[in-house]
Structure formats: structure tokens, C-alpha cells
Copies of this chain bind each other. A is one copy, B any other.
Amino acid sequence: MAKKKKEAPITGITVSKEEDFSAWYTELINKAELADIRYNVKGFVVYREWATITIKKMYAKYEELLEKNGHLPLIMPSLIPESNFLLESQHVEGFAPEVFWVTEAGSSGELTERLALRPTSETALYKMYPLWIRSYKDLPFKRYLSCQVWRYETKMTRPFFRGREFHWIESHNVFSTMEGAMDQVKEDMEMTYQMLQDEFGIPIIFFERPQWDKFAGAVSTYAADALMGSGKVLQQPSTHLLGQNFSKPFNIKFIDKDGKEKYGYQTCYGPAISRIYGAMIAYLGDDKGLILPFDIAPVQIAIIPILYKGKEEQVLEKSREVFEKLKKKYIVKIDGSDESVGSKFYYWELKGVPLRIEIGPKDVENQQLVIVKRHDGKKFTIKEDDLINKVDELAQNYTKEIKEKSLVDFEAQIEITYEKDAAIEAINNGKIVCCGFCSIDMDAYQCAEVVEKETGGEVRGKRVDEEKHEFTTCLICGKPAGCTVYIAKSY
């Protein structure tokens, strides 16, 4: 996927993505000015302009889709009283090690109750739901929050991949039946494919997570994994079937059609936009820098006037003309800086601007211009009259092309294994292992521990889309296999 180091341009990324993904990612973050890790609280980073603009566009796309599917937005307080938090025992147990606590305020000093900085909003929101939900007519009740959450991570942090504060959407839904809830889980997975694969070019696979790795308080968890460089996966949005695990302690009831009072069935879904951004730039980027889907690029077209002495004015005039034509529909910049043409090319490639238009004196003479696509470097010389048509065509296909290339890359990373040693080797070679396993219930936890200890990978779960592979025995203990699972290292 990545180009060799010798091809890297002078001002591009100096480390090859293929050779050292981690170093490449760090350099990309710094050189393209996406995040600044020098903020003086550990695990907290600043998202810089170029990243923030795209993240905001990603939020807007996700919110539009959620609203189209009947989810309405709310804004919730970000502080949760400890007493709320204690209501669901598995939930508190799962999150307690990760909570930041507010204990003091103002001059008056200590608060009477500790307040959690929300690590997730179930225990805030579900205190309100009984006040709003009365009857089956209020169901399904589908709401979402666009907000940040805080988690006192002990794992290594990395900009966008994992931080102690991150930015997500959480959707919280109540249904009158378990089937209704399960349908929502399916819709959540569909939305994830639509957004991550179609819009952001990140290939994913959904797994039903093993019981030992589900969301604290859930009946079951369905999570997407994206493949990153160096063969590790990065967890992407997950959706959780909560059943009545929260509706009972939080008293979320409704009067059903039969006049009886019943507890609701719930789901929640959490696309972490900042992490999706991280996966996107990591997955799509190359040794020249960022590659961005067309719609969410902060600048979509960069016009580079190529200036020769004596002919500056006509080139600049033509550039402005092209700019005026395009700006009605696209986000366009003319690079009028003093840098060399080469540096300008490198700069806008580093920033991932999808289309570059070059205009030199010869182009002006011949009423033509040159357009270069960032993601594959393809170059077109076109007649000026064709400008809008050609740009429209390139713009329309750009994200689709990225996506098609991405999907091919993904399946190639999976390796079928029948023995532990082969699995260990495959994992070490940066592959995702597909194998037989006892089950994903708690009683298979011992085999999972062996996986982690001996391969360094984790059981990601059962594939949710079509499973083509069947195994007779468990990779670890050799007993009859209950299911097919995937094993991978993860960030």
C-alpha cells in the first residue's frame, strides 16, 4: 500500500509507512499539523485546525444520517453524580478504574458528592428517561448526544487513536421488545458501514465481541474493527444490546398496548468521531502525507500558479478566473505564497487536498490546465471549457475510488490458520488470524487467555457478516469448535 522510502518527497514524510507505521503516523500528525501533543496534561492533546475542520464535517455527516433514521439530538450535563453511577453494578465495575472525579468547587471547597466526568452517558441519560417515557406510543425513543467523554486511560495514548478526552456521538434508544432493540443494533451496524466505508474510506469488519470483552452492563456488544498499518486493528464504533440491564435499575418503564407496565429494552451506540478520524488518516495516508475523502477535506482544490518572469500577471489572472468559477461549488485555495512550485506541490499533497490544478504560461496560451488527483497521482491536461465538467466528474468519483482500493486491501490481511504455531506466526507477520474456537461465552475465557499470552493478539469475536470458514476444532484446546473467531493485535 505504501510507497518505498526513496520515493518520499523532500518535504513529505521521511519515514515509510510500510517500514515503521508508528513513526510514520507520528510524523504525519506533526508535519500536517493535525494535533499537538505538547499540551501540559498527560494524555490530553490539542486538535489543530486542519483536523478540527474535517472532524466537524464528519460530525455533520453522522448527525444527518442519525436524524434521517429518526434519532433526535439532546445536550446533557457532562457531570454525573456518583450515586447514579452506582446503580448498575457491572457498569460501575467496568468504568470505575477510568473515571475522573470532580470533588471540589469554588471557594466553598469540597462537594458533598463526587461528580464523575462522564466516561459515557448511560447513567446520566437513563435517570431522565423515566421522566419522558410513559407509554408504548413514546417508543421507539431514539436520542443521541454529540459530546466529548473522559477516560483515565492506562494504555498508551496516541493522538486520535486513544486519549483521555475524546469526541464522539452516543445514541441511546428504548424499544418495547427485544426484537426492536436487536433491529436497532442492525441499523447501527448498517450506519457504521455507510459512514466508515462509503464516506470515510475505512474498511471495517463487525464482530460480536466475546462475553469477556463486552461493554460493561451490556447483554452483548457488536464492534467494528479497522485494520491499521503494521497489522494491528483499531476498534471502531460499537453498538450494544443492553436488554433490560439498565431499564430495571433506572426504572425505565412504559405502559404497553395491553395496559401493563413493562421495562423497556435498550441499545446504545458510540461512534467516536475523533478515533474514526485517526483510523481514516492512518489507513488512507501514504508517504506523501494525508489522503482525505473529497467531501470532508478542509480544502478540496488547490490552484498552483506556475510563475515565470514577465508572464506572472496572465497566469495569476487565469488562476483567479478558475478560482471564481470553482468556488461556487467547491472549497478552493490559490497558493500565492513565495514558495517554489515543488514545495507547493509537496505542501498540498501533505495536507491531502484531493485535486491540484496547475496553471502555467503555456497553459494560458493553449487555454488548458492540468489537474492532478492526490490519491493516485493521476494527471489530466484538459481544455479550459471542460473545467467544470471534469472537476465535477473527478470530485464525484474521488471517494468511491479511495473506498474501492481500501476494500481490496482489507480482506488480503486475513489468514486462515489451523494450529497455534501458524497463528502466532501470522500474527507476528501483521495478519488477522481466522480460526476455530470453543465459543465466545465466558466458559471459553481460559482459551482466550492463552491466545493473549502466546500470540500477543486478542480474540476479536465472531464475524457478523457472512462467515465463510468453518473449523472442526478450537485452535487452543483442540476440543470441538463452537464457532469461527478472528484474532488480531490491537491499538
Contact = CB atoms under 8 A, between A and B. Distances in A.
Interface residues of A, number: 56
A186 interface: no
Interface in A23-75: 36, 38-41, 44-49, 51-53, 55-56, 72-75
A107 B115 CA distance: 15
Given A75-B52, A75-B55, A41 B165 contact: no
Secondary structure at the A interface, as helix, strand, loop or mixed, is: mixed
A152 interface: yes
Nearest to A67: B53
Contacts of A102: 100-103, 117
Which of A47, A78, A102 neighbours the largest number of chain B CB atoms within 10 Å of its CB? Answer: A102
B77 A49 contact: no
B103 A97 contact: no
A143 interface: yes
Contact of A165 (B36, B79, B98): B79
A44 B77 contact: yes
A124 B104 CA distance: 20
A105 B100 contact: yes
A39 B77 contact: yes
A46 B75 contact: yes
A143 B44 CA distance: 19
Interface in A9-31: none
B72 A49 contact: yes
Interface of A: 36, 38-41, 44-49, 51-53, 55-56, 72-81, 83-84, 96-108, 114-115, 117, 124, 127-128, 131-132, 143, 148, 150, 152, 154, 165, 167
